């Protein structure tokens, strides 16, 4: 009888200690999880802040570089319209296009006199860039225009319609035209860009 009573008393004591152990373990797990989440939050926050700081510095450097570098703008010379045969075999293909050149500026291209002021109402006042002397450039280009037009005609008429259908083919033609015209200009000026105003193949 005594043994049974002792056993019954010891069973609730074991249950209580097991319950306490489970509660302590559960509380320790919650505490560890909370500590882990807090540490993780601060680590990610500091990492994110450092990344954002680096990104901001990079953007500021790029902005400073963009402000420091002026876009190289030249003088546009329109060569007019061209209608020519392409070199397709077995069928006649025609190309109708308009070609314009952008040439480098020279000191003599700038007109004399005071540049115009831009801005108004007290905001953004400053000096505008001097305008190019168009009449002097036109006279200069008149001597080169026949040779330049011939270079464009020779280059484009040597292509097939298939060559000029793709963007890569057009870009290649522009590069070749620029090289041919730079050879004609003899280093006095340089072709910055060749542009096709329209480009119709029939």
173 found inside a domain: yes
d(CA 110, CA 128): 12
Q: Is the entire prediction scored with pTM above 0.85?
A: no
d(CA 96, CA 202): 8
Q: Evaluate whether 180 touches 190 at the Cβ level (below 8 Å).
A: no
d(CA 107, CA 87): 41
124 found inside a domain: no
> Based on the domain organization, do 62 and 82 belong to the same domain?
no
Query: What's the sign of the alpha-carbon dihedral 89, 81, 141, 104?
Result: negative
Last residue of a domain, one of 69, 95, 120: 69
7 found inside a domain: yes
> Based on the domain organization, do 168 and 183 belong to the same domain?
yes
123 found inside a domain: no
> Within a 10 A sphere around the Cβ of 194, how many other Cβ atoms?
21
> Based on the domain organization, do 8 and 103 belong to the same domain?
no
126 found inside a domain: no
Question: What are residue 80's phi and psi, to 5 degrees?
Answer: 90, -170
122 found inside a domain: no
At 147, which CATH number?
Answer: 3.30.479.30
Which range marks the domain in which residue 181 is found?
75-111+131-201
88's CB contacts (< 8 A; 6+ apart) are 160, 161, 162
> Based on the domain organization, do 100 and 160 belong to the same domain?
yes
> Based on the domain organization, do 1 and 95 belong to the same domain?
no
Is residue 199 predicted with pLDDT exceeding 70? yes
Encode pLDDT of 62-110 as tens digits.
Answer: 766 655 555 567 888 888 899 999 988 888 889 999 999 988 887 776 6
> Based on the domain organization, do 63 and 6 belong to the same domain?
yes
Q: Evaluate whether 173 touches 82 at the Cβ level (below 8 Å).
A: no
119 found inside a domain: no
> Based on the domain organization, do 25 and 102 belong to the same domain?
no
196's CB contacts (< 8 A; 6+ apart) are 97, 98, 99, 170, 174
Mapped onto helix, strand or coil, the DSSP state of residue 187 is coil
> Based on the domain organization, do 107 and 136 belong to the same domain?
yes
Last residue of a domain, one of 35, 69, 103: 69
Q: How many domains does the chain have?
A: 2
103 found inside a domain: yes
> Based on the domain organization, do 61 and 85 belong to the same domain?
no
> Based on the domain organization, do 36 and 94 belong to the same domain?
no
> Based on the domain organization, do 13 and 79 belong to the same domain?
no
> Based on the domain organization, do 28 and 80 belong to the same domain?
no
Encode pLDDT of 161-195 as tens digits.
Answer: 888 888 999 999 999 999 999 998 888 888 899 99
CA angle 162, 167, 170 (to 5 degrees): 70
Cβ-count burial 67-83 (b if 16+ within 10 Å, e if not): eeeeeeebbebebeebe
CA dihedral 89, 92, 96, 100 (to 10 degrees): 30
Is residue 60 predicted with pLDDT exceeding 80? no
> Within a 10 A sphere around the Cβ of 159, how many other Cβ atoms?
22
């Amino acid at each position: 009888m005594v043994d049974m009573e002792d056993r019954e008393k010891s069973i609730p004591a074991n249950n209580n200690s097991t319950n306490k152990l489970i509660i302590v373990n559960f509380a320790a797990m919650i505490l560890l999880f909370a500590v882990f989440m807090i540490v993780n939050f601060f680590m990610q926050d500091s990492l994110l802040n450092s990344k954002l700081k680096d990104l901001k510095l990079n953007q500021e450097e790029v902005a400073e570089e963009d402000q420091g570098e002026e876009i190289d703008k030249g003088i546009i010379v329109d060569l007019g319209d061209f209608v020519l045969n392409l070199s397709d075999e077995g069928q006649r293909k025609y190309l109708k296009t308009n070609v314009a050149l952008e040439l480098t500026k020279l000191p003599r291209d700038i007109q004399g006199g005071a540049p115009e002021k831009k801005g108004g109402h007290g905001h953004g006042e400053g000096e505008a860039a001097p305008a190019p002397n168009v009449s002097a450039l036109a006279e200069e280009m008149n001597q080169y225009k026949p040779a330049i037009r011939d270079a464009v005609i020779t280059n484009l008429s040597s292509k097939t319609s298939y060559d000029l259908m793709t963007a890569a083919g057009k870009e290649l033609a522009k590069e070749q035209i620029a090289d041919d015209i730079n050879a004609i200009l003899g280093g006095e000026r340089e072709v910055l860009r060749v542009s096709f105003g329209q480009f119709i193949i029939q």
